Amino acid sequence: MKTVAFLGLGHMGLPMAANLVKAGYAVRGYDLADACRAAAKEAGVPVASDSAEAIEAAEVIITMLPKGEHVVSVYGDLVRKIPAGTLLIDCSTVDMESALKAHELAASAACSSVDAPVSGGTGGAAAGTLTFMCGGEAAAFSAAKPVLEAMGKKIVHCGKGGNGQAAKICNNMILGISMIAVSEAFVLGEKLGLSHQALFDVAATSSGQCWSLTTYCPVPGPVPTSPANKDYQPGFAAALMLKDLKLSQEAANGAGASTPLGAAAAALYENFVDAGSGGRDFSAIVEMLRGGDA
């Protein structure tokens, strides 16, 4: 039974750690926030008194942190304390530069590493159905895969270190653009006297079909499980979508790629978040579009 340290027990990290416990791993979690540590204890996740205790004798260390700077800082501390051969898995969504720096730090301590950002939101984290997009050497991916399978149902090796983040950034750029497109279609349909259900029934079985429509429909009714039926409680918060879209634009600028729709989506979500809606589900942008404030 592998010993796993889990650093970062927030909305995503806690249910992921809980699923590792259910799968039989010896887990020790830690988070800087008192509330997160308390919630972890209630969920049956053993909590260390500090990060040093969490990583003691850990064969695998998983991080789920808010920003790239946090990942680099934690890795910089880890590599001074952990033995060679420890497997480091970062499940955060961060910028490419930070992801590559984390791999460099791991290598400096003779540790294998995988960047493994996730898709599936808090629901997928709780259900253990996340998709993991993984970057790293083949041997590191093979070692990480059984651990990740305890938390997700689709584990994809995307190639070299950093490629997991690249896949996540590209995927979420598609998601942000498609949610705006679906929302605009429903707003237009409303103006034309088309019911939400009629538009859904047509588009869901026609060329307009996409995940943002059929799984996460931004208007109440057609998809009962979508956040639109719960006053747009996340889900996936608009502030996080904006973070990912900004990462896509940083990556595009660095790579010299033209992403005009990605840039437009980032600008729209920035307006939405600046208007005070960062804590709402990202599908709530339909309300801003309906109001003509875009």
Question: Virtual CA dihedral for 210, 212, 213, 217, nearest 10 degrees?
Answer: 170
| DSSP run (H or E) holding 142 | helix 138-149
What is the C-alpha to C-alpha distance for residues 293 and 15, in angstroms, rounded to an integer?
36
pTM above 0.85, yes or no: yes
d(CA 276, CA 260): 25
In this prediction, residue 294 carries a pLDDT of: 52
What residues act catalytically?
Answer: 168
pLDDT at 270: 98
With contact defined as beta carbons under 8 Å apart, do 192 and 185 qualify? no
What pLDDT sits at residue 121?
84
In this prediction, residue 116 carries a pLDDT of 98
Instruction: State how beta strands 130-135 and 118-119 pair.
Output: antiparallel
Q: Are 218 and 284 in contact (CB under 8 A)?
A: yes
Q: What is the pLDDT of residue 80?
A: 94
**Domains of the chain (ranges plus CATH)?**
3-160 (3.40.50.720), 166-290 (1.10.1040.10)
Half-sphere exposure of 222 (CA within 13 A, CB side): 19
At 166 the three-state DSSP class reads: helix
Predicted pLDDT at 230: 96
Q: Which pLDDT value is given to residue 292?
A: 62
| pLDDT, position 52 | 94
Q: Which two tokens stand for residue 234?
A: 């996340």
At residue 104, the pLDDT reads: 98
Indicate the helix (H) or strand (E) that contains 6.
strand 3-7
Instruction: Per-residue pLDDT tens, the chain, 294 aa: give them.
Output: 689 999 999 999 999 999 999 999 999 999 999 999 999 999 999 999 999 999 999 999 999 999 999 999 999 999 999 999 999 999 999 999 999 999 999 999 999 999 999 998 888 999 999 999 999 999 999 999 999 999 999 999 999 999 999 999 999 999 999 999 999 999 999 999 999 999 999 999 999 999 999 999 999 999 999 999 999 998 889 999 999 999 999 999 999 999 999 999 999 999 999 999 999 999 999 999 998 655
Residue 14 pLDDT: 97
Confidence at residue 2, expressed as pLDDT on a 0 to 100 scale:
87
Q: What is the pLDDT of residue 122?
A: 85
